[in-house]
Amino acid sequence: MNRAIALVGPTGSGKTRLTIELARRLDTEIISADSMQFYRGMEIGTAAPTAEERAEAPHHFVGFLQPDAEMAAGKYQRLAREKAFERLARGRTPVVVGGSGLYISAFIDGLFDGPARDQAVRDRLRAEAAAEGNQAMMARLREADPCYADQLTSENDLVRIVRALEVYEITGRPFSDWHREHQDTLEPWDVAQTALLWERDALYERINRRVDAMIAAGWREETQQLIEKGYEKDIYRLKALGYQEMAACLRGERTLEETREAARQHHRRYAKRQMTWFRADKRIHWLPAGDEDAVASWIAEMVKRYQP
């Protein structure tokens, strides 16, 4: 069984320092699963590990792409697993860290988008959804593929509902059957997932302070440099938190204080969405944030369990 450790959780929860300490003790390297930290020149606004932190423990997939490059979750799955296998081949346990739930899931569970596509079928299904409503489409999915329907958390997840109905209509087989076959072809992974659990108000205050620190560190200047290099359209395409507002600030459309408050709000909302995603995964072990003894005990246990 391939084994790894994953530190997950919302922005501002303290994943970076905990991961570095664990990687240092295990003499291993870190695989980042933060989709916005992939991009070079966006280190401040994405709170990427600093050069000093990366010197403490090597990080992969931090600042390795230009902002106009694309990194789909499926491609990340392949690259990240390759790096993880390299660590295992050297007798080291890979440590994965990030708050991008889709990319964490890609590494651990693998992604599968189905065996076939038909844009005409998809367009028709979307039109039917607009006419009949999401509830009716979910009812159709429950009849065609009850197993996959049970995995969805909301009837508003229209993208996945339509995709599953599309696959069923094209192939005559439930999407869940195709997904199960795909999973059987993947090498299994045993991943110990852990997250730090903060009280909401305490986490939000940490987020507010982080935004203040990013602005003080030169976030506005970083955004200006991205624009000067021709990456303004990519700022909007990537939807990295706060960069659009910072670009508006540079154009004089809002004040720095307005930008600060907007960035704080966006990061808090993102953290809420992240918590919803990770709380749904019952495999994650939550450590009480601020309890140094509990965190230290967990690190010691992981070192004992995973040290070569």
Instruction: Answer whether 19's CB lies under 8 Å from 192's CB.
Output: no
Map residue 305 onto helix, strand or coil.
Answer: helix
Does the pLDDT value for residue 184 go beyond 70?
Answer: no
Could you report the per-residue pLDDT of 198-208, keeping only the tens digit for each?
999 999 999 99
Does the pLDDT value for residue 210 go beyond 70?
Answer: yes
User: Confidence band (pLDDT; 50, 70, 90) for 145?
Assistant: very high
Looking at residue 54, what is its pLDDT?
95
Q: How far apart are CA 263 and CA 85, in angstroms?
A: 37
Looking at residue 202, what is its pLDDT?
97
Q: How far apart are CA 7 and CA 11, in angstroms?
A: 12
Residue for token pair 């303290």? 14
Under CATH, which number does the domain 2-110+187-306 receive?
Answer: 3.40.50.300
Instruction: Answer whether 25's CB lies under 8 Å from 115's CB.
Output: no
* Cα dihedral 22, 28, 34, 38 sign: positive
Does the pLDDT value for residue 113 go beyond 70?
Answer: no
Could you report the per-residue pLDDT of 31-42, keeping only the tens digit for each?
999 999 999 999
Mean pLDDT calculated for residue range 186-198: 88
Looking at residue 244, what is its pLDDT?
93
Does the pLDDT value for residue 162 go beyond 90?
Answer: yes
**Strand locations in 9-103, DSSP E?**
30-32, 59-60, 95-98
Q: How far apart are CA 145 and CA 173, in angstroms?
A: 9
Q: How far apart are CA 22 and CA 28, in angstroms?
A: 9
**N- to C-terminal Cα separation, the chain:** 14
Map residue 275 onto helix, strand or coil.
Answer: helix
Under CATH, which number does the domain 119-185 receive?
Answer: 1.10.20.140
Looking at residue 157, what is its pLDDT?
81
Looking at residue 62, what is its pLDDT?
97
Could you report the per-residue pLDDT of 235-266, keeping only the tens digit for each?
998 989 999 999 999 999 999 999 999 999 99
Task: Report domain extents, the chain.
Answer: 2-110+187-306, 119-185
Does the pLDDT value for residue 178 go beyond 90?
Answer: no
Does the pLDDT value for residue 185 go beyond 70?
Answer: no
**What does DSSP assign to residue 254?**
S
Mean pLDDT calculated for residue range 76-87: 94
Q: How far apart are CA 193 and CA 253, in angstroms?
A: 43
Structure tokens at 114: 């189905």
**What does DSSP assign to residue 226?**
H
User: Confidence band (pLDDT; 50, 70, 90) for 44?
Assistant: very high
Q: What is the mean pLDDT of the chain?
A: 92
Backbone φ/ψ region at 281: left (φ over 0), alpha (ψ -120 to 50), beta: beta
Looking at residue 264, what is its pLDDT?
97
pTM over cut 0.85: no
Mean pLDDT calculated for residue range 182-192: 77
